[in-house]
Structure 1
Amino acid sequence: MQGPELLATWLREFAQEQSEAGCVQAFVDTVDNSIRSQMPIFDTDPVLTEDLHRSTRYQWLAFLSVLQQREHQILLPPQAHDLARTLARRGHELGVLLKVYRSAHNGVFEYCTAVVESLDDQAPPREEVLKHLWNRVDRWLNDAIEVLIETFYEERQERHEGALARRAEVVETLLAGDPISVDEATDVLGHPLLQWQLGCVLWASEAGADSAAAVLQTANDLAKSLGAARPLFRVAGSRDMWVWVATPAQPDLTAIRHLEPRLAELKVHLSLGVPAPGVEGFRSSHAEARAAQNLCMTVATSPTIVDYRAVELLCLAATSGVLMERMVRREIGALRGVDKNLAQLRQTTLAFFTNQMNIEATAAKLFVHKNTVRYRLARAEELLGHPLVERTALVELALRYVEFFDPSGNL
């Protein structure tokens, strides 16, 4: 087998091999790492980063699906358009989108070069493979940019038109802490800023028309649960929404818990800030809700509803990285592990701290006998090597860290 026939056979086998999950992930890692090394905006925006990963993943699969055709063809998946829309909705300039694809260019070349260098003697000549691959990749990226520029500007135009643009401007002004008349802002937004403010973030697991509708419906259900007329919301990306609910008095957030089954069914997640009054509450509660969302984006399985007050210490500690994990191992190393008995000890000890070190309250919370709680706490102290009244804050933080980031106890 020689010439075009050999290359065609190799391309068919290459496309099949590269469509497997492991190879796709390797491609995504290479390309997106190249992009992120040049663009720090992705380091602080987990939703935008996930949109990037999805765009890269599905563009590669689409590219592989047409690679064997003689003529160049581009089939941009919806996820590529989602990334362009999210960049526009985040308020970024077109240059940011263009830089994404310039950086991707380097990452794809690095990946293709590595593929070619690994070819054996049974494959077509390396220079022939690289020339063919790179010609198709280069044309794909150039065509993608042309298509996505149009998507970006369509989204940008819609964002800046009419009342939506004015409302977005007022929200940005409030969040930035810039001077603005509260009466004017209340009138433009149709939102009572002098009342108690609950900031929330809603996000769907997948982007799409159905998920966008589900997120919007959830925002309305949320406001209704708290006795509010309607929420103020701002679409922040392809699948996430910022929401504020205003109430005359401090809202009871337990009223939201009945939404959890419906949220799980819709694959929609909700993070809650701490309710606070006035413009400052509008700003602070939103920042807290976003911090809770960012925390959720770092774990494989996000909670359906996460309250910032329950994870505040984790939000503050999450940026510590290696230092935090080192502290966890030091403080509760003997309580780590996948054994179910160790899991019970962690659960009981954390419940003990949560219930102000009250044995009876802990037993009621866990539906076990008081003596069972006493036994487990004694065992935990034995493994830790000190009483639970010592180093309480660090032990509790370490337990909460394991509960949230690694319930199996492998950390």
Structure 2
Amino acid sequence: MADALLAAKASLAHDMAEHVIGLMPELRPPQIAELIHASCDANTTAFLDNLGRGVPTDQVISTPEVSAYTRDLVRTGLSLDSLLRGYRLVASHVIDRWADAVVDHGVPGPAGIVVIRYGTAYQLAWLDVMCEQVAREYRAEADRLAQQRSQARLDELHAVLTDPDVSADAAGRRLGYRMRGTHRALVLRDCSERPSGAALNAALRALGSGLGVSDYLAVRPDGRTLWCWLPWPASASPRLPAPSGPVLLAAGRPGRGLDGFRRSHREAVEAVEIAVLAGRQAGTVTDYADVELAVLCTGSGIDRTRDYIEATLGELIADDEPTGRVRATLMAFYEANSNFRAAAARLGIHHNTVRYRLEQAERLLGHPVGERRLALETALHLAGILGVIAPDSGP
């Protein structure tokens, strides 16, 4: 029976293709329909050959022709669901044609039933194997195309960020993003041991939903990082919600037009670098406005910045709870314009406690807190962002 159908393969494959195209409107565009005909021809040949030779279905392998047509169908934009539905509809049609052929060739009743059952069971098992292999081929090609498109988009983005001659309108056309108006750049970083695009995309979707924004530009420069730009209304709150999942979020300041697009991105990248240096945990937000001084001071290297903090604070750098309270009190005292009672109100403690802790600070520093105030305040700010270490614990 397999040999008989193989002899009429061209007609059988044509009928199968027309049958499935008639049932699925998404297969009717000429380019897709042509590939469906070619794929049906290749699959029919492979199926009948395997059936006729009794190849066990667990040893069936997609032919190079079938794999090539699958990749071509991916490039047309046909969905995997549609492709697999097409395979199932064709399989149903083949089963009907197989039963008709058995009847047409006059196979006796009991023997005919055996042949019909065998061919039907083989077709169903073959369908399972082929759908699995086709899906694997489809996903591999879709991933390859996505990476190719992502790289092309990344190249376009780099050009927009660095080309001084590109205009805002040209940049918008190249990226498919409205460049005029105000933007805010974000950087999301996956902190997990095995970073995945899924975690970054989920965090971005949740963030966009929380902000009520869907029209954004997002690009992945590497497997751990996602760059994003959001249209930013003047009425929006500057504070961002914490990201979901194992993700760090950093944000630049809002900026207008192409220059703002670039500046906000640069700030977001610098902010996430500070977050990583400081060892911030997933689920935290680092705003450039809060770490700008740390960005400027770490431009010559984190080691020199830490040297500055340790040299300025001396024993006040110790990483223990009592010393931490003294540092916090001194910082509050500076922020209160050196007013004991205002600092006490800020901290929720008695003003005599503020005086006592400042005396402790002076003993640890080796000089009055009023000396070198700018250097001390800067070092305290940086220590609050980057963290502190005990003086004798090494780098």
Per-residue deviation, residues 45-76 of structure 1 (Å, max 9, x unmatched): xxxxxxxxxxxxxxxxxxxxxxxxxxxxxxxx
Per-residue deviation, residues 115-159 of structure 1 (Å, max 9, x unmatched): xxxxxxxxxxxxxxxxxxxxxxxxxxxxxxxxxxxxxx9977544
Letter in 2 for 1:383: L
Aligned to 2:360: 379
Q: Distance in 1 between matches of 2:174 and 2:340?
A: 53
Q: Report deviation, 1:357.
A: 4.7
Q: Distance in 1 between matches of 2:329 and 2:163?
A: 43
Divergent runs of 4+, >6 A: 153-156
Would you say 1:292 and 2:271 are equivalent positions? yes
Contact 2:232–2:254 (8 Å) recurs in 1: no
Instruction: Determine which of 308, 324, 327 is the counterpart of 1:327.
Output: 308
SS at match of 2:189: strand
Aligned to 2:229: 244
Q: Distance in 2 between matches of 1:177 and 1:203?
A: 26
Aligned to 1:273: 252
Alpha-carbon spacing, 1:278–1:226, altered in 2? closer, same or farther (3 Å): farther
Letter in 2 for 1:273: G
Q: Distance in 2 between matches of 1:246 and 1:361?
A: 40
Q: Report deviation, 1:190.
A: 4.1
Aligned residues: 251
Per-residue deviation, residues 148-200 of structure 1 (Å, max 9, x unmatched): xxxxx997754444xx5664344222211432232243344343322222111
Aligned to 1:124: none
1:114-263 maps to which residues of 2 (within 5 A)? 158-161=146-149, 164=150, 167-206=153-192, 211-249=196-234, 251-254=236-239, 256=240, 259-260=241-242, 263=244
Q: Which runs of 5+ in 2 are unaligned?
A: 1-140
Aligned to 1:83: none
Per-residue deviation, residues 369-389 of structure 1 (Å, max 9, x unmatched): 344334323432343244434
SS at match of 2:172: helix
Alpha-carbon spacing, 1:202–1:249, altered in 2? closer, same or farther (3 Å): same
Would you say 1:312 and 2:292 are equivalent positions? yes
Aligned to 1:395: 376
SS at match of 1:235: strand
Q: Report deviation, 1:218.
A: 2.0
Per-residue deviation, residues 250-282 of structure 1 (Å, max 9, x unmatched): 64222x1xx32x53xx11101111222111111
Per-residue deviation, residues 321-361 of structure 1 (Å, max 9, x unmatched): 44333322321103122342211011222233445555555
SS at match of 1:338: coil
Letter in 2 for 1:292: A
Contact 2:190–2:200 (8 Å) recurs in 1: yes
Alpha-carbon spacing, 1:371–1:174, altered in 2? closer, same or farther (3 Å): farther
Contact 1:226–1:247 (8 Å) recurs in 2: no
SS at match of 1:388: coil
Identity of aligned residues (%): 30
Contact 1:273–1:286 (8 Å) recurs in 2: yes
SS at match of 1:230: coil
TM-score by length of 2: 0.55
Instruction: Answer 1 or 2: higher relative contact order, Cα 8 Å, separation at least 6.
Output: 1
Instruction: Determine which of 345, 349, 367 is the counterpart of 2:326.
Output: 345
Contact 2:249–2:286 (8 Å) recurs in 1: yes
Letter in 2 for 1:231: Y
Alpha-carbon spacing, 1:321–1:229, altered in 2? closer, same or farther (3 Å): closer
Q: Report deviation, 1:244.
A: 1.0
Q: Distance in 1 between matches of 2:181 and 2:290?
A: 24
Structure with bigger gyration radius? 2
Cα RMSD after superposing both structures: 3.2
Q: Distance in 1 between matches of 2:235 and 2:161?
A: 21
Alpha-carbon spacing, 1:217–1:387, altered in 2? closer, same or farther (3 Å): same
Alpha-carbon spacing, 1:321–1:249, altered in 2? closer, same or farther (3 Å): closer
Q: Report deviation, 1:406.
A: 3.3
SS at match of 2:277: coil
Q: Distance in 1 between matches of 2:370 and 2:144?
A: 56
Q: Distance in 2 between matches of 1:360 and 1:227?
A: 43
Aligned to 2:54: none
Q: Distance in 2 between matches of 1:344 and 1:330?
A: 20
